[in-house]
Amino acid sequence: MAEKRNSIWLTITRIVALVFVIAVTVTLYIYRHQVQQLQALGYPGIFLVSVLANATLILPVPGVIFTAAMGAIFNPCWVAVAAGTGAAVGEMTGYLAGFSGQAVIDRQGWYERIENWMRKYGDVTIFVLAFIPNPIFDIGGIAAGALKMPWWRFYFWCALGKILKMLVFAYGGAALVSWFGMGS
């Protein structure tokens, strides 16, 4: 009886996670232009924009461009930390979609390849996919959730990769502004 109750709770949790991910993705895609107004909040705004930009599944919201712009205004190191940790929080939607166990994507050959990488090199796969700007990170997050990688391990490696990537973009934005003499 207890096993059946646990199975029901797991099913309900998975359905709620999937509905949440779909709702967040649709809402953020619809309101993507209003998200940019959060920059007025400084580092917390950068964190929030980054969470929202990375909480969408498959539908891209250009968070790294925002990070580059903010790196030209604020301290690039702190911009990277705020944007990278926010991006990792946002990427938890992909993880939750995979954890839900629902078929969010077709199991194409490339998904199978990423899932195999996750089975063999889970931490490194998440780190590399988070560090390299690419449109397939969501697939890695879905695979990590589906394979039941502990959420804290997923978050740690994702945050590390995202912070380093955002560091490149924040310093790149600061360097461009300095190079073109637009800085103060």
| 162 within domain boundaries | yes
Does this model's pTM top 0.75? no
Residue 170 lies in a domain: yes
Quick one: pLDDT at residue 7? 67
Give a yes or no: residue 117 inside a domain. yes
Say what the pLDDT of residue 68 is: 79
Residue 22 lies in a domain: yes
Q: What is the pLDDT of residue 76?
A: 93
- The answer to the question of residue 184 being in a domain is no
Per the structure, the count of domains in the chain is 1
Q: What is the pLDDT along the chain (184 residues), one digit of tens a residue?
A: 767 776 676 667 666 655 655 565 555 455 555 555 656 678 998 898 888 888 876 555 567 777 877 887 889 999 999 999 999 999 898 888 887 775 555 566 667 777 788 888 889 999 999 999 877 788 888 888 888 899 999 999 999 999 999 999 899 888 876 776 654 4
The neighbour count for residue 33, using CB atoms within 10 Å, is 8
In-domain check, residue 18? yes
Is 133 part of any domain? Answer: yes
Taking the CB of residue 79, how many other CB atoms lie within 10 A of it? 30
Q: Considering all CA atoms of the chain, what is the largest pairwise distance in Å, rounded to the nearest integer?
A: 70
The whole-number pLDDT of residue 184 equals: 47
Range of the domain at 138: 2-179
Angle at 21 between CA 151 and CA 94, to 5 degrees: 45
